[in-house]
Amino acid sequence: MPACTADRQTVYREGVELEFPVKGATKIFAGSMVAVDSTGYAVPAGNTAGHRLLGIALEQADNLSGGNGGLVIRVRTAGVFEFGATSISQASVGATMYVVDDQTFDDVDPGQGVVCGRLMKYVSATKGWIKI
């Protein structure tokens, strides 16, 4: 596409809530962390190679009997969210956190380097607030 030669109307969204196509044979639960996998479809976040965190599911999407993109899911892509942790400490505040599964994070990479954000508030060794 060539550079603009005249004014254009640019479509705009805040980008805080976006819809993503769900991978076939997949169920994502409301309130869980959502990732995109190597095929580009939304899946439950996990310590899985190729996953990149999208945000938090605003609803359940049951695409167990559907094909890739058969459903879309609304995802909150930014904010501060409370989730369970495997073993964090007050010293972890501000540090990068990693996905363990779709409802758990940790300050130690469990192997695949799937980043879910930064720890903003320590609650306990097994609970904290992460900023996505």
Handedness of CA 29, 32, 37, 40 (dihedral sign): positive
CA-to-CA distance for 57 and 88, rounded, in angstroms?
Answer: 24
Cβ contacts of 105-110, under 8 Å, gap ≥ 24: 105/33, 105/130, 110/47, 110/86
For residues 71-94, average pLDDT: 98
User: Residue 48: is its pLDDT beyond 90?
Assistant: yes
| pTM, two decimal places | 0.93
Mean pLDDT of the residues in the chain: 97
What's the mean pLDDT in 26-55?
A: 98
**Sequence spans of domains, the chain:** 17-76, 80-131
CA neighbours closer than 13 Å in the CB half-sphere of residue 7: 1
